Amino acid sequence: MNETIDLLMSRTSERGYLKREITQMEKDLIIRCAMRAPTAGNMMLYSVLEVDQRQKQRLAITCDNQPFIAKAPLALVFLADLQRWFDYYELSGVPQKCRESGIEFETPQEADLMLASCDALVAAQNAVVGAEAIQIGSCYVGDIMENYEIHREMFDLPQWVFPITMVCFGHSRRQERKPSVVPRFPQEAVHFKGHYKRLDADDFEKMFEDRITRLQPGGWVKNAENIGQHFYFKKTGSDFFREMRRSVKAAMVEWQK
């Protein structure tokens, strides 16, 4: 084991932070770590937007009512961004050159959004790991994908920019209270060789064995009778997932105009 491996194995989401500001030097380091992330064709199909305090207070409501967002010393929104390149293509006369050559000028479609989202998420994870290395904790907020129209107006987002994730940062309180690392699924439920494996009842029983012991029936939601029903009602079938699906559909309509 080494320092980097230890950091990755012990990292956990933190929603409460020390009452210390993140310095400009620390902030710049986190951003530089993000910008060293692998990127498709070295095109860097993402942008990073730093959120001000007024915006954080609003996001604490629009991102599924999570008050810790407003209290985070730093919040960064990672944007899937094709706008920058297509603005440059326009400036470079690419559409005109395509017309002269009898070639269709292709604007961003679904695949471009997926690729840019991958770039943005890899950059976000680099920022998280870099922050962790200097004792700054973090928490991903996927709910930034909800309320697309509100967030688009809030951040002045043009057509080909979409907020794929937000990360809140703050100096870690682990020395005050060491958080327990949240268990993951066993490796055999995730790691396959050569072919995808559909899991059977026995596989699922092993996969959820630890979670079933940690989450007793009294903690299940909506009168769920098993852990599968619990997770569906809590996550997949929840109101916030429903809003996220609506929001992404609305963004895709705008993206493909």
**pTM of this prediction?**
0.94
At 218, the pLDDT band (50, 70, 90 cuts) reads low
**Domains of the chain, start order:** 3-180 (3.40.109.10)
pLDDT confidence of residue 178: 67
Residue 217: pLDDT band (50, 70, 90) is low
CA distance linking residue 220 with residue 233, whole number of Å = 9
Structure confidence by residue, pLDDT tens digits, 36-65: 999 999 999 999 999 999 999 999 999 999
Reported as a single tens digit per residue, the pLDDT across 76-118 is 999 999 999 999 999 999 999 999 999 999 999 999 999 999 9
Mean pLDDT across the stretch 145-151? 97
